[in-house]
């Protein structure tokens, strides 16, 4: 199955974002990686090209054709293309730079639960917070604050609490490893509203920047994807109106299950970013092999190189198809939990495997700081950690296969 075949929308997205990645993303990737800085200027350009920070919540006019609904020329209902568009675009951007891709699209992590569970008023609050520019004249971004110093994978044991106080909640706790955590104009924060309810008590809140008690914290120094900001966020007796409780009282029915569902929608996109990194490293090696010689024979004629290239091509193609399949299922509104986890785990493994092989074959030149392969090697590892670690994906797949949660 090739989702691009006969699909001018997806082909157009690939062409446009591929050109943007080549002409605008790649040239500044090393600089933002070395400086550990967000690409604010590029984010402005991307916004002008229609890459909105809020597209998951409100569909921009340019994206309406991808939204599904209505009838096509043949009179049949048009299926949505949103996840597939995000997937095809994310591979191109991550080929340019995975850190910059996350800077451009990191708000989507917060937008996904708002789109899924938010009331119309909360959607408006969220999108209003992202209009215009911030006090430094930068594109406004959002953050999704779930992880904590002692809670990453096991999201049901959050220490952050939201205590009811009349018509308000008081949020207290600390969040860590939060994408856009320092600069966000709006946060979606997850907290335990009632410990007696366990997992069902974990609820989200939409909290605008500037709310007293919401204090952006220290920025983290990271191995990879360094153009994306990751930081702590503190909630110090942060008092919020109950209207900011995601989904309102009705949303309690979904609770944490809603959070997990949104990961099924974002995992294919994360998976295909890993494919973009792998493809970047693979193409770098392929180009080198085609021009060079070793011990008097063309590099391409050496079996150990040819076989390594074949292995890498097999892995990249398989990972991409898995990501596309799980995105296609999301667009068809099919249950994709197993496939999203397969795609995420496979994509991460491919990125680590391919970047390691390429580094190995190039030798010491690729170990130098500032060498593109050295950067792709560092960027790849994070894909096996965030949005559910490799082990967590395997737990999900095993549970889907056997019905039993491995201990
Ligand atoms: C760059 C980056 C950006 C991030 N952005 C965000 C963000 O925007 N918002 C947010 O909320 N979080 C974010 N995170 C946090 C990320 O989601 C967590 O790091 C991730 O969920 C893993 O949690 P942890 O690091 O606490 O590891 P832990 O959950 O403590 O896991 C440690 C190890 O134990 C393993 N493990 C844990 N539980 C099990 C189990 N049941 N079975 C088998 N093995 C297990 C894990 O696989 C891992 O190897 C980000 C992280 C990074 C690195």
For 156-184, how does the pLDDT look when each residue is reduced to its tens digit (9 = 90+)?
789 999 999 999 999 999 999 999 999 99
So what's the pLDDT on residue 263? 76
Question: Considering only 148-162, 298-312, 346-360, 369-383, which range has the smallest mean pLDDT?
Answer: 148-162
Mean pLDDT, rounded, for 239-253: 85
Residue 65 has pLDDT above 80, yes or no: no
C-alpha 153 to ligand 1 mean position (Å): 5
Q: Best substitution site from 152, 219, 398 to test ligand 1's pocket, by max atoms within 8 Å of Cβ?
A: 152
- Mean residue pLDDT across the chain: 91
Predicted local distance difference test score (pLDDT) of residue 70: 62
Kindly report the protein residue whose alpha carbon is nearest to atom 23 of ligand 1: 152
Reported confidence tier of residue 24, pLDDT bands at 50, 70, 90: very high
Closest atom of ligand 1 relative to the 110 alpha carbon: 8
pLDDT tens digits for 109-135? Answer: 999 889 888 999 999 999 999 999 999
User: Can you give the pLDDT at residue 69?
Assistant: 61
Which atom of ligand 1 is least distant from the CA of 153?
Answer: 29
> Has residue 139 got a pLDDT over 70?
yes
Instruction: Name the residue of 38, 143, 144, 147 to mutate for ligand 1: max ligand atoms within 8 A of Cβ.
Output: 147
C-alpha span between 88 and 12 (Å, rounded): 10
User: Rounded distance, CA 145 to CA 184, Å?
Assistant: 11
Give the atom of ligand 1 at the shortest distance from the alpha carbon of 175: 11
Which region holds residue 333: left if phi is over 0, alpha if psi is between -120 and 50, else beta? left
Taking the centre of ligand 1 as the mean of its atom positions, its distance from the CA of residue 20, in whole angstroms, is 31
State the distance from the centre of ligand 1 to the C-alpha of 289, rounded, in angstroms: 37
Give the three-class secondary structure for 362. Answer: helix
> Confidence band (pLDDT; 50, 70, 90) for 104?
very high
Ligand 1: atom nearest CA of 179 is 8
40, 48 Cβ separation under 8 angstroms? no
| Nearest alpha carbon, ligand 1 atom 16 | 386
Spell out the SS3 assignment of 238-272. Answer: EEEEHHHECCCHHHHHCHHHHHHHHHHHHHHHHHH
**The ligand 1 atom nearest the CA atom of 149:** 26
Q: What is the pLDDT of residue 155?
A: 77
Which domains, from first to last, does the chain contain? 8-115 (1.10.540.10), 140-252 (2.40.110.10), 256-402 (1.20.140.10)
Residues that are catalytic: 387
Whole-number pLDDT of residue 64: 58
Q: Residue 79: its pLDDT value, please?
A: 79
Ligand 1: distance of its center to the CA of 391 in Å?
10
Instruction: State pLDDT tens for residues 320-342.
Output: 999 999 999 999 989 999 999 99
Q: Which residues line ligand 1 (CB under 6 A)?
A: 109, 144-147, 152-153, 177-179, 222, 225, 230, 382, 385-386, 389, 391-392, 395
Q: Which atom of ligand 1 is nearest to the CA of 151?
A: 26
In this structure, the residue with its CA closest to atom 43 of ligand 1 is 391
Residues 6+ apart with CB under 8 A from 297: none
Average pLDDT on 255-280 reads 86
Q: What is the mean pLDDT of residues 232-253?
A: 89
pTM of the full predicted structure?
0.93
Calculate how far, in angstroms, residue 276's C-alpha sits from the geometric centre of ligand 1.
Answer: 22
CA of 38 to the centre of ligand 1 (A): 22
CA atoms within 13 A on the CB side of 48: 6
Per-residue confidence band for 205, with pLDDT thresholds at 50, 70 and 90 = very high
At 80, the pLDDT band (50, 70, 90 cuts) reads confident
Confidence of residue 264 (pLDDT cuts 50, 70, 90): confident
- Higher-pLDDT residue of 251 and 288 is 288
Task: Report the percent of the chain where pLDDT is more than 70.
Answer: 92
Instruction: Determine how many CB atoms are found less than 10 A away from the CB of residue 100.
Output: 28
In angstroms, what is the span from residue 382 Cα to ligand 1's centroid? Answer: 10
Q: Residue 60: pLDDT band by 50, 70, 90 thresholds?
A: low
3-17, 290-304, 345-359: range with highest mean pLDDT: 345-359
Q: What is the pLDDT of residue 61?
A: 57
Residue of 158, 389, 398 to test ligand 1 pocket, by largest number of atoms within 8 Å of CB: 389
Q: Cα dist. 295→183, 212, 301 in Å?
A: 53, 68, 11
Over the stretch 221-230, which tens digit does the pLDDT of each residue have?
999 999 999 9
């Amino acid at each position: 199955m090739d989702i691009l075949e006969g699909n001018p929308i997806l082909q157009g997205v690939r062409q446009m974002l591929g050109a943007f990645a080549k002409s605008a993303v790649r040239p500044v990737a090393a600089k933002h990686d070395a400086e550990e800085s967000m690409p604010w200027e590029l984010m402005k350009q991307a916004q002008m090209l229609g890459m909105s920070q809020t597209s998951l919540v409100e569909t921009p006019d340019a994206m309406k054709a991808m939204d599904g609904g209505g009838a096509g020329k043949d009179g049949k209902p048009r299926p949505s293309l949103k996840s597939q568009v995000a997937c095809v675009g994310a591979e191109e951007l991550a080929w340019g730079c995975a850190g910059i891709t996350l800077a451009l699209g990191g708000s989507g992590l917060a937008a996904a639960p708002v789109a899924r569970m938010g009331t119309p008023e909360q959607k408006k609050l969220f999108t209003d917070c992202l209009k215009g520019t911030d006090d430094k004249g930068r594109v406004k971004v959002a953050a999704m604050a779930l992880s904590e110093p002692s809670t990453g994978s096991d999201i049901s044991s959050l220490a952050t609490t939201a205590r009811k106080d009349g018509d308000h909640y008081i949020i207290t706790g600390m969040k860590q490893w939060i994408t856009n955590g320092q600069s966000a104009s709006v946060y979606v924060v997850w907290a335990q509203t009632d410990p007696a309810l366990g997992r069902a008590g974990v609820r989200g809140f939409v909290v605008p920047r500037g709310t007293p008690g919401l204090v952006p914290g220290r920025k983290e120094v990271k191995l990879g994807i360094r153009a994306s900001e990751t930081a702590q966020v503190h909630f110090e007796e942060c008092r919020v109106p109950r209207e900011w409780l995601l989904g309102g009282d009705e949303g309690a029915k979904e609770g944490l299950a809603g959070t997990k569902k949104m990961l099924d929608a974002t995992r294919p996109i994360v998976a295909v970013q890993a494919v973009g990194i792998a493809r970047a490293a693979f193409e770098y090696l392929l180009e080198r092999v085609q021009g060079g010689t070793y011990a008097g024979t063309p590099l391409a004629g050496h079996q150990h190189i040819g076989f390594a290239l074949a292995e890498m091509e097999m892995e990249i193609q398989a990972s991409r198809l898995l990501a596309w399949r799980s995105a296609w299922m999301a667009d068809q509104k099919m249950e994709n939990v197993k496939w999203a986890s397969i795609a995420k785990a496979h994509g991460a493994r491919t990125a680590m495997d391919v970047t390691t092989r390429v580094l190995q074959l190039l030798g010491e030149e690729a170990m130098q700081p500032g060498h593109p392969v050295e950067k792709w090697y560092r960027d790849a590892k994070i894909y096996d950690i965030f949005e559910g670690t490799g082990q967590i994906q395997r737990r999900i797949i095993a549970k889907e296969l056997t019905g039993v949660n491995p201990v």
